[in-house]
Amino acid sequence: MERWERVGRCAGYGAALAMSPYLLIKVSWVVGSLLGLAPIGQGFNLTEWFLLNTVTIGMAGIGIALSLALVQPWGMRIPGRLVAFCAWTGAGFLVSILPYAVLSAVLDAGHGGAPNSGGDDAAMPGWEGALIQFSFVGMGLGLALALPAYPRRRWPEAFTARVGDDSGRAAPWAAAVAAVVGLVWAYWAVGGSLGVAHPAQRDTNGYLLTGVGALWALAGSAAVWMLAQQDPTRGPHRRLLMLGWLGSGSLFAWSSWKLPITLFVALAHPHDVPLPEDPAVAAVLHLAAVVAGVGMLRSLVGSRPRTPAGTSPTSLHASGPGRY
């Protein structure tokens, strides 16, 4: 077994183990709130608290299952599209939450406070916040090492040739939409007030998370745009593909998560859960981000390996597993 294969397997198990504290904490919150033994998060009623944490329990369970699927033999039998979608979405969440977690922890430490969990409940004990941060960071680092080994085992022929000549040319519009969304988020992250309905609700953590999202939106947009314009046999093609993959995943994952919440606030007008941004503006941006993320992914999936000189394309792709 190659060294990186061993590293990938250890990282997959480590990612699953790291996410376990988050899963257990969330289960304890749900059970405790239903039995009246644990407080409900500020700004939520029992039903909203139950639904929110049930969804995050399911997401944590999917993350653990994905981590194990990357290293267990049964993971090779899961449909490739399902594995790719879960990996894409999970990576999109994690590439934003990891730098946010590090930066917020540094800022909180500078102010003498406990690490923040990312907005679940500001009144939670410090040890719970630390375990939640550990789960996100551990899952992110584990998947970052485990993911590259999986496609190399399952689709080795996709890594035996140079990347092909139609990547990114189908949907440059998605890169343009992502750039607009990223620029608006960057404007909000540096303190812009246009489109902000409740400036008093903005805080440092909100600025950080918005700024990280803007960074990935712009990076992914630039990568997909460059792939659409350049000669695909030249330049840092694999690095651009990786940036496009992570940027599109971040757009889709976070906006798919925030769009239903934003629509709920826009339609129900709850007095105890105000959003800093105007709900209508935020909803349009999140919808645009979801559409742009999907369009960028379709553009990236359109990449085909270029067969080496003297090699028949049919002999390279006869089995077709690289086209998942």
In DSSP notation, 151-181 reads HHHH-GGGGSSEE-TTTT-S-HHHHHHHHHH
Whole-model pTM: value is 0.72
User: What does the alpha-carbon distance between residue 230 and residue 176 come to, in Å, rounded to a whole number?
Assistant: 16
Q: For the segment 164-219, what is each residue's pLDDT rounded down to a tens digit?
A: 444 444 458 899 999 999 999 999 999 888 988 888 778 888 888 899 999 999 99
Instruction: Specify whether the CB–CB gap between 300 and 221 falls below 8 A.
Output: no
pLDDT at position 108, please? 62
CA 16 to chain CA mean position, Å:
17
Distance CA 279, CA 286 (A): 10
pLDDT of residue 4: 65
114: left (phi over 0), alpha (psi -120 to 50) or beta: beta
Q: Long-range pairs for 231-240 at CB < 8 Å and ≥24 separation?
A: 232/163, 232/164, 232/165, 232/166, 232/167, 232/303, 232/306, 233/162, 233/163, 233/165, 233/306, 237/162, 237/163, 237/167, 238/163
Residue 123: the pLDDT is: 55
In tens digits, the chain (324 residues) has pLDDT values of 577 678 888 988 999 999 999 999 999 999 988 888 888 877 678 887 888 889 889 989 998 998 999 888 888 888 878 887 888 888 888 888 778 777 776 666 555 554 444 444 545 677 887 888 888 888 888 887 787 777 777 777 655 544 444 444 445 889 999 999 999 999 999 988 898 888 877 888 888 889 999 999 999 999 988 887 765 445 577 778 888 888 999 999 999 989 988 888 788 776 666 778 888 899 999 999 999 999 998 888 755 444 444 444 444 344 444 333
The pair of structure tokens assigned to 208 is 């950080």
d(Cα 44, Cα 201) in Å, to the nearest integer? 16
Angle (CA) 64-73-153 rounded to 5° is: 95
Q: Which residues of 260-292 are buried (b: 16+ CB within 10 A; e: fewer)?
A: ebbbebeeeeeeeeebbbbbebbbbbbbbbbbb
Q: Are 235 and 204 in contact (CB under 8 A)?
A: no
pLDDT score of 75: 87
According to the model, what pLDDT value does residue 235 have?
52
- Please report which helix (H) or strand (E) contains residue 30, including its range: helix 3-35
Digit-coded pLDDT (tens) for 75-107: 888 887 888 788 888 888 888 877 877 777 666
pLDDT of amino acid 168: 41
Q: Which of 68, 29, 73, 86 is nearest to 52 (CA)?
A: 29
